[in-house]
A = this chain, B = another copy of it.
Amino acid sequence: MVELQNFYSSCFTVDNIIFGFENGDIKVLLIKRGEEPYMSQWALPGYFVNENESLRGAARRVLKQLTSIENVFLEQIGAFGEIDRHPSGRVVTVAYYSLIKIADYQVTASSIARKASWFKLDEIENLAFDHRKILDKALNQLRWSVRINPVGFELLPPKFTLTDIQKLYETILDIKLDKRNFRKKILSTGLLESLGESQIGVAHRPALLYRFNEEAYNELSDKDFLLAI
């Protein structure tokens, strides 16, 4: 039998791409690194994988440490393993992306970060390591994912308007959609449920509020669903 120890010359990390949506913009949660290498640079939140946890488990742990978030949408992007991606040795990272409702959580700095904050996509540059490449892949996957699964709802607050969700799709896919056609299509999926309530305190006709109907989604998700937008 091969001695595994002979191959113990490398290690793993996980990195999280945490997407949020606020004021019509996609945002990404970044940390300011508190340790070398890339000290004080902005980076994706991530850390080493412990021996006694799975990759996904590690991603959840890092996410929880940073945001206290649990039970959230989390999907793997893939592994990144260029030889020289980490200046101090061979480190392979596995990236996960998650979608969260910004308003629900208070982001806290932690042992792994000096500071954490949300960035709009166009404010981001010069990330540590190969994190820019990882972020780009995550964005691309999000754009596909949003058509195949109604993952977009994960980014919205529990009660939202049809305009909110239209803006979300427009932002993620970077396209402009026709209001009437979009409403027809999104309502025809049966995934939205009107709450019978309206917005209050807005300086225009108040919009009806909807919520995501999870039961309808569970029935649908087996058949391969494709939201043609």
The answer to whether A2 and B35 touch across the interface, beta carbons within 8 angstroms, is: yes
Given the contacts A8-B8, A10-B12, A92 and B55 also touching, CB distance less than 8 Å: yes
The answer to whether B81 and A54 touch across the interface, beta carbons within 8 angstroms, is: yes
Decide yes or no whether A4 CB sits under 8 A from chain B: yes
Nearest-CB distance from A133 to chain B (Å)?
A: 13
Task: Please report the total number of A residues contacting B with Cβ < 8 Å.
Answer: 37
Q: How far is the CA of A144 from the CA of B226 in the complex (A)?
A: 11
Copies, count: 2
List which A86-124 residues lie within 8 A (CB) of chain B. 86, 88-92, 94
Given the contacts A1-B36, A88-B1, A81 and B49 also touching, CB distance less than 8 Å: yes
Decide yes or no whether A53 CB sits under 8 A from chain B: yes
Q: Return chain B residues, CB-CB under 8 Å to A11.
A: 4, 7-10
Query: A54-68, CB under 8 A of B: which get 1 and which 0?
Result: 111000000000000
Query: A73-91, CB under 8 A of B: which get 1 and which 0?
Result: 0001011111100101111
Other A-B pairs, 7, CB within 8 Å; known A12-B92, A54-B82: A1-B35, A2-B35, A7-B48, A49-B81, A54-B81, A55-B80, A55-B92
